[in-house]
Amino acid sequence: DAGVIQSPRHEVTEMGQEVTLRCKPISGHDYLFWYRQTMMRGLELLIYFNNNVPIDDSGMPEDRFSAKMPNASFSTLKIQPSEPRDSAVYFCASSGGMNTEAFFGQGTRLTVV
Amino acid sequence: DAKTTQPPSMDCAEGRAANLPCNHSTISGNEYVYWYRQIHSQGPQYIIHGLKNNETNEMASLIITEDRKSSTLILPHATLRDTAVYYCIVRVAISGGSYIPTFGRGTSLIVHP
């Protein structure tokens, strides 16, 4: 398996634009997590899914953020409209199956100007 | 979940053992200790986990005190590539053995020549 795959790796967008981050979890994993990392706040859990169903989205900062998991192999995190304070590295992780540990993707570095 | 306390930074000479401490004095009997690390610009990487017994794998050793109130991650022969932020996490397993990784600030380990 190629691991957790995130795209794009880097995204630069203007304030007010819609941004969509994508994640492909490891096949067979039934948990998927979205995190945001900034210098100020460290690694924050935004939302997680179990079997494609959102379980806890209490970490989602505002209504501008939304996440979906239409099937077991794909998830998106959308920010609409984006703001400069959304600039961060966004990580996706998955776990489950034979693994109790979480495997992380390489992250998407988002810059909103 | 039990709160963890780690020193913010440590340094170690290349080739020497790096011993990273973690205090988790409020840990419950069914909570596991997990260690991850994050090398600059990469996603967190699982290292090792344990419940009450000491554990060893190809990356590191985990020593958990008898009262389980603290643990130490040992990198037996640190290399420059071990420079990273190391996170100690205490989590209750959720269904199927998975859990939700929640990260503190971790310990920034610098391995110097």
Q: How many of the other CB atoms lie within 10 Å of CB of B95?
A: 10
For residue range B15-67, what is the model confidence (pLDDT) as tens digits?
999 999 999 998 888 888 999 999 998 999 999 999 888 999 999 999 999 99
Q: Is A102 on the interface with B (CB under 8 A)?
A: yes
The residues on B that touch A, with CB distances below 8 Å, are 34, 41-46, 49, 87, 93, 96-105
Mean pLDDT of A51-73: 94
What is the model's pLDDT at position A93? 95
Q: How many A-B residue pairs are in contact by the CB < 8 A criterion?
A: 50
**pLDDT reported for residue B19:** 98
Q: Which residues contact B56 (CB under 8 A, 6 or more apart)?
A: B48, B62
d(CA B63, CA B71): 5
The pLDDT tens digits for A33-49 are 999 999 999 999 999 99
Picking from B22, B25, B94, the residue whose alpha carbon sits closest to that of residue B60 is: B22
Lowest mean pLDDT, pick from A101-110, B22-31, B68-77? B22-31
Tell me, rounded to whole angstroms, the distance of Cα B108 from its chain centroid.
12
User: For a pLDDT cut of 70, what percent of chain B falls above it?
Assistant: 91
Q: Assign residue B4 a region: left if phi > 0, alpha if psi is -120 to 50, beta otherwise?
A: beta
A101 contact B CB<8A:
yes
**CB atoms near residue A15 (< 10 Å):** 12
Q: Report the pLDDT value the prediction gives residue B11, as an integer from 0 to 100.
A: 95
- What is the layout of strands, in order, in the sheet containing B61-64? B18-23, B70-75, B61-64, B55-56
Averaged confidence pLDDT in chain A = 93
Query: In whole angstroms, what is the distance from residue A47 CA to residue A21 CA?
Result: 14
pLDDT band at B101 (very low <50, low <70, confident <90, very high): confident
